[in-house]
Amino acid sequence: MNQLVKGSILVALAASCYGTLTSFVKLSYKAGFTTVEITFSQLLIGFLGFLVINSFYNKRSMVDLNRTQLNKKRLWLVLAGFSIGATSIFYYTAVRYITVSLGIVLLMQSVWISALVDLVINKVPLTRRKSIAILVVLIGTMLASDVWQQDQTFDLRGIGFGLLAALSFTVTLFTSNNVALNFTSVTRSKWMLLGGLIVVSTYASRELFTDFNYEVFMLWGPVLAVFGTILPPLFFTTGMPKVSVGLGAIVSSLELPVAVFMGYLILGEEQNLIKWIGIVCILTAIFIMNYKRAKLR
């Protein structure tokens, strides 16, 4: 039970880091930095951070593979990491046009998108429980996004990029659970971040040597790297082995209320009872989809 509590705390800390991240992204926009500058600095510092961490990580893995097999696995991890870069670009672009609350709600659509992808790719049927959970997520999304307000207006660019981020994040979830699982978590994170950095560097290539403001590396790059790239994976990889998969998924959903609360606390975003009812609906759906796997060890 002691290990279970420690694991749950670590997973909660990881989710809280991700939840806080979006408000910091908004603040970096207010400081005058662009999506290119934010994403590139975060991924570069994060990748360099994992290079350092990996050099001190003594566990060895994949010792039964020859160099060719190792390089093949690394290549697959790099390719899998492309979705990390894409998610950062799509999500950070989305929150330029919409609130933190709506952005995180759109990202959480990966809950039901993952279930549909599981149905198509892995032939995992949509059970009655999953179908109810998807319906609850959609209802919660309607409430949490304030569409019920007649005077509410939305920037379609933000909605579109938010949904693209959810799709890309779904790809990250699937590749993270299926590619090169014999590598240590730290090593896998390093190679996947390299893939993300390649995508972001390609996206930033035109601006990188012309209008790029390198002052982003002084504050916001390191802050975003710590809260979005370095600490969460370390907390997750340390905490998840101590809890069940279902409990981990439930605890990690803490990201949603933390993001909304930090949007209110840091940015002064307007909140109301209906929005929080919608958030509770989404959290309930996540619980419905995972509670059977959330067994105490």
DSSP per residue, 71-138: HHHHHHHHHHTHHHHHHHHHHHHHHHHS-HHHHHHHHTTHHHHHHHHHHHHS-----HHHHHHHHHHH
- In tens digits, the chain (297 residues) has pLDDT values of 577 778 788 888 988 988 899 999 999 999 999 999 999 999 999 999 989 888 876 555 444 566 777 888 889 989 988 988 999 999 999 999 988 888 888 888 887 888 888 788 778 787 888 788 888 888 888 888 766 665 556 788 999 999 999 999 888 877 776 777 777 778 888 898 999 999 999 999 888 888 899 999 999 999 999 998 888 888 877 776 677 655 667 777 788 888 888 988 998 888 888 888 888 988 888 888 777 665 554
Cα–Cα distance, 230 to 53 (Å, whole number): 9
Could you tell me if 217 and 265 are in contact, meaning their C-beta atoms sit under 8 angstroms apart? no
- Strands, DSSP E only, in 185-276? none
pLDDT at 39: 94
pLDDT at 65: 61
Could you tell me if 175 and 83 are in contact, meaning their C-beta atoms sit under 8 angstroms apart? yes
The model carries a pTM of 0.85
Q: Encoding tokens for residue 240?
A: 């998840």
Cα–Cα distance, 103 to 148 (Å, whole number): 17
pLDDT at 151: 54
pLDDT at 144: 81
Could you tell me if 10 and 231 are in contact, meaning their C-beta atoms sit under 8 angstroms apart? no
Nearest to 101 by CA among 268, 233, 286: 268
What SS3 class is residue 37? helix
Cα–Cα distance, 70 to 183 (Å, whole number): 10
